[in-house]
Amino acid sequence: MTPSFALRDALALGDLQTFLGRSARVDDGAVRLIGSGGVLAVYTSVLQPAGLLDRAPTVLGLRTFAADTRAPVDSVVPIRALLDRLARLEGPATGSPGEPVGVLVPPDTATAAWAGISPPRAGWERVDDVAAAALRAAARAGIDEVAAAVPSGIGEQIVSRVRGEVWGRPVDGAPDVVAGGAFAAYSLGFLGPDPAPDAEADDDEPPVAVFRAGPWMRLTTSRGHVLIRRL
């Protein structure tokens, strides 16, 4: 039987599309879907080591959705295939507002090394809070540094080394969080809209919670989670 799930409504469908679209701009490889107990967990890759000598951390994005599954779902599919499937459900196909939206998981399968590394679901301990502004600053600085250090046409080995160095270093003021985690939270929209360039610091902006479980770290906001596994 083809795996399937039903999202709560068309708003949830749009939310999933937004998350997958942002993820695809970072890494358009694969998405892992795990559904059971009324919850669909959607994992995407932001960073992953390119080989045994690559010191880059594994960084995943995670969104969870209320969803009904007739049977447990655990599938790894191309992210573009799922986006195409969801696009065909827009408009009249979604039914009346507030009605569940059924989704058949695409039959295509994808191979992704990161999908075989499962973060823990329990045992997380909150260890710190970090300002969203600090993560934005680390992400922007890293993006600029990688762009300046990696001109077009350079070898993949050098690209991997530069990215590993930039995204593997700790965030200022948050030594347990690597810059790659900040990049993921920023790129996936988990930090919210960018403030205006001349805007004053928002002291009321909620901090990002930092959790640890074994070799994994997790950044959590109201918009989603970033999972980080360092070598």
User: Maximum CA pair distance of the chain?
Assistant: 55
Cα 120 to Cα 13: distance, rounded to the nearest angstrom: 26
Which residue ranges make up each domain of the chain?
Answer: 4-116, 125-221
Pairing, β 170-171 against β 224-229: unpaired
Pairing, β 170-171 against β 174-178: antiparallel
Q: What is the pTM of this model?
A: 0.91
**Which pLDDT value is given to residue 154?**
65
The tens digit of pLDDT for each residue in 50-64 reads: 776 677 889 999 999
Lowest mean pLDDT among 5-9, 128-132, 148-152, 173-177: 148-152
Pairing, β 224-229 against β 58-68: antiparallel
Cα 43 to Cα 143: distance, rounded to the nearest angstrom: 22
The tens digit of pLDDT for each residue in 207-225 reads: 999 999 999 999 999 999 9
Cα 146 to Cα 158: distance, rounded to the nearest angstrom: 11
E strands, 141-229, in order? 170-171, 174-178, 208-213, 216-221, 224-229
The tens digit of pLDDT for each residue in 69-119 reads: 989 999 999 999 999 999 998 765 555 667 899 999 999 888 899 999 889
The tens digit of pLDDT for each residue in 113-127 reads: 999 988 999 999 999
When pLDDT is averaged across residues 158-170 and rounded to a whole number, the result is 86
Neighbouring residues of 51: CB distance < 8 A, sequence distance ≥ 6: 160
**Residue 95 region, left (φ>0) first, then alpha (ψ -120 to 50), else beta?**
left
- Per the model's pLDDT, the better-predicted residue between 69 and 16 turns out to be 16
pLDDT of 169 > 70? The answer is yes
Neighbouring residues of 230: CB distance < 8 A, sequence distance ≥ 6: 57, 168, 178, 215, 217
CATH topology of domain 4-116: DNA Polymerase III; Chain A, domain 2 (3.10.150)
C-alpha distances (whole Å) from 102 to each of 9, 58, 94, 110, 195 are: 9, 32, 8, 22, 36
**Which pLDDT value is given to residue 39?**
97
**Which pLDDT value is given to residue 92?**
54
Q: How confident is the model at residue 153 (pLDDT cuts 50, 70, 90)?
A: low
Could you write out the DSSP letters of every residue in 52-78?
Answer: TT--PPEEEEEEEEEEE-SS-EEEEEE
